Amino acid sequence: MSHVNKSAHPFDKGRLEALLSRRFFYAPAFEIYGGVAGLYDYGPSGSTLQANIIAEWRKHFIVEESMLELDTTIMTPAPVFETSGHVARFADWMVKDVKTGDVIRADHLVKNVLEARLAGDKEARGQAAAPAKEDEKDKKKKKNKTAKAAAVQLADDVAKSYEVTLAQLDNFSGAELGELCRKFNIRNPDTDNEVTEPQEFNLMFASSIGPTGQHPGYLRPETAQGHFLNFSRLLDYNNGRVPFASAQIGRSFRNEISPRAGLLRVREFTMAEIEHFVDPQNKSHPRFKEMRDVVLVLLDRHVQSSGNTTLIKMSIGEAVEKGIIANETLAYFMARIYLFLLKIGINPDRLRFRQHMSNEMAHYATDCWDAEIQNSTGWTECVGCADRAAYDLTVHSARTGHPLVVREALKEPIVTEKEVPEFNKKALGKTFKQDAGVLQKHVESLDEAALSKLKSELAEGSTTIIIDGKTFEIAPDLLRVERKTFKQSIREYTPNVIEPSFGLGRILYTLLEHTYWSREQDVERGVLSLPPVVAPTKVLIVPLSSKEEFDPLVQEVSSKLRRAGIFSRVDDSNTSIGKRYARNDELGTPYGVTIDFASVQNKTMTIRERDTMDQRIGSIDEVIATVTDLVEGNIDWTEACQRLPAYDGVQAIES
């Protein structure tokens, strides 16, 4: 399996990053201008990998569940985000170095400093860190040069309080973060200067629309509002029925305070978001039974609030029954997210679902589980799965006056009976003149019990009502109270929204970490074991030499693969086959076919499998048929080996 790290060598982030840069998976945007923090460009390998992940996402979610795809604008007029709450609340806490003015995100500062001190403490105690922790520490030394990991032993209670603080970190307000900085004497590790009190910084990029600057606008920080604003049109497209889901893949922007974590925290990123609209009274899911037995690793909010991180393994069926996951629909999507991540090659042993703590949730959410994937920086939120309840539709409807509701014909009309006052308006006017209206209003506002009482009084003759000290003597000919039947055949409600939201860049980067390893014989020979479904190139075509007599065969193989829908590239560069295969391993291409002199004579071709370096031989058409089945997932390499005999030239070529 691709997620099993075959490497005999410990994970080396520096080597992976060098590979990703060398093979242009991605690179800092505007690199020749010195770059801008948090902006990255994807090169041919990265953008094709991303396009393949998106294609699989579309198949797994949109096609499989007939979701309604949307493509809405990034540029958004300010009133939309005023209503949604983003203008007021979509902010992070930042502190400034009191002397240099350098800006640091407050929670990241606390995290980095406390983690570094705990690492120093471990070192001072001479504790051998666990292998996973070792990676973590390695990385800290390299990336966060600034967070000092001096080997200083901490008092036991201090170390414990750091650990509790870290487990609750996402739950602190700005004031609390400021408090922590003072309490723990947290300073800017770059300069050892104190930092200011945390201030809020809104993460939306601002601009203005139109030639006279009259329309302030923001770049969206999520695609979700585009779904909500189009709700009525989507509902109509779906013939007025709920539940249904809309889906959108697109760019969003967050003006992060001081991004330093590569693709894991960027200012511009591609998201894939689903908004599943559901009846608030019925959050069951029609296909839940298909997913019931999927087992997930969960970290719920009670565990975290008690200051630890114990994981539990449980089927989603059980988790819903026990009330750990709030409802079927939320759980269904968590299982579908899990299956998707596995399909593209994420290691299931490094995947967990963490529930948000109450203060941590976005302002619009009522429950939220993050799919967190472990990488060299720790556990990283890659997919959020939130129940936004009716928040967004309600606020946009209130602001615009446009009803964002479902009107559902009731199968059984709801029949109710109630007492209704009926006035003899003419007689009423004659008797009470300008006070008639006051009386009428008063009687109409009476509740069921009061009306019943009035009814029985009138049945016995005239009665008296006092309103604001004024006495009304009412005869039965002026007012009758009658029992009437009412039939309600339409139910009107604001649907709730379950939102799975994918950060594709984070998934892509973590996938690269999970699939990277080095060959035993040479730590420099890196391999990316990307599954064929997402690998940027499926087949490398390698002509043994650049002799012209190979050209027609290269053309033939290339066009036959293209017709089979398999994306291939030719590598006819002037280097050895071994070097070309090594480059290819770094690019994550699962199969290579070699055209040599025997190919020209016998119409044969060899095929090489990336992870094992096995080579097999067959006729050109056999090899193409086999590689097509491999790429489409119809067979695995073991089955391919039953079709094609081993090729003996292997060792010579790879050495």
Q: How far apart are CA 295 and CA 315, in angstroms?
A: 4
Tell me, by CB under 8 A, how many residues bind a second copy: 84
Distance of alpha carbon 186 from alpha carbon 180, whole angstroms: 8
- Only one of the segments 25-33, 132-140, 454-462, 645-653 lies at the binding site for a second copy (rule: CB under 8 A); that segment is 25-33
Say if CB 162 and CB 114 are below 8 A apart: yes
Nearer to a second copy, 36 or 154 (CB): 36
Of 549-578, binders to a second copy (CB under 8 A) are: 562, 567, 569-571, 573
* From candidates 143, 265, 396, 616, binder to a second copy by CB under 8 A: 396
With CB under 8 A as the contact rule, the residue among 5, 17, 77, 431 that binds a second copy is 77
Kindly tell me which residue out of 8, 63, 132, 459 binds a second copy, with binding defined by CB under 8 A.
63
CA 591 to chain centre: 31
**Using CA atoms, how far apart are residues 347 and 297, in angstroms rounded to an integer?**
13
Q: Which residues have CB under 8 Å from 393's CB, separation 6+?
A: 228, 231, 404, 405, 494, 495, 497
Nearest to 392 by CA among 407, 408, 404, 406: 404
Binding a second copy by CB under 8 A: which of 1, 8, 10, 69? 69
**129 DSSP assignment:** P
Residue 187 CB, shortest distance to a second copy, in Å, is: 19
Window 508 to 527, contacts with a second copy (CB under 8 A): none
> Rule CB under 8 A: which of 102-161 touch a second copy?
103
Nearest-approach distance from CB 365 to a second copy, in angstroms: 23
Q: Residue 53 Cβ, how far from a second copy at the closest point, in Å? A: 12
Interatomic CA distance for residues 623 and 592, integer angstroms: 11
Q: How many other CB atoms sit within 10 Å of the CB of residue 48? A: 18
Nearer to a second copy, 125 or 402 (CB): 402
Nearer to a second copy, 102 or 163 (CB): 102
Q: What is the CA radius of gyration of the chain?
A: 33
List of long-range contacts for 316-320, beta carbons under 8 Å, 24+ apart: 316/291, 316/292, 317/292, 317/293
Q: For 528, phi and psi rounded to 5 degrees? A: -110, 110
* Tokens linked to 128: 């051998």
Structure tokens at 399: 């602001």
Among 171, 191, 258, 604, binds a second copy (CB under 8 A): 258
Closest approach of a second copy to the CB of residue 105, in Å: 9
Residue from 1, 10, 146, 237 that binds a second copy (CB under 8 A)?
Answer: 237
Q: Does 219 bind a second copy (CB under 8 A)?
A: yes
Q: Which stretch binds a second copy (CB under 8 A): 30-38, 181-189, 352-360, 522-530?
A: 30-38
Tokens of 341: 């991540």
Other beta carbons within 10 angstroms of residue 22's beta carbon come to: 11
CB of 94 to a second copy, least distance (A): 6
Among 233, 407, 483, 563, binds a second copy (CB under 8 A): 233
Is 84 a binding residue for a second copy by CB under 8 A? The answer is: no
CB 586 within 8 A of CB 527: yes
Question: At closest approach, how far in Å is the CB of 66 from a second copy?
Answer: 6
**Is 39 near a second copy (CB under 8 A)?**
yes
By CB under 8 A, is residue 257 in contact with a second copy? Answer: yes
> How far is 607 from 625, CA to CA, in rounded Å?
12
Q: Which of 5, 7, 47, 604 binds a second copy (CB under 8 A)?
A: 47
Q: Which pair of structure tokens corresponds to residue 321?
A: 């029954």
Q: Which of 4, 18, 37, 420 binds a second copy (CB under 8 A)?
A: 37
Q: How far is the CB of 292 from a second copy (least distance, A)?
A: 19
Give the whole-angstrom CA distance, residue 74 versus residue 592: 41
The answer to whether residue 216 forms part of the interface with a second copy (CB under 8 A) is no
Residue 203 vs 342, nearer CB to a second copy: 203
Number of Cβ within 10 Å of residue 506's Cβ equals 22
Which one of 147-155, 226-234, 513-521, 636-644 is the stretch in contact with a second copy (CB under 8 A)? Answer: 226-234
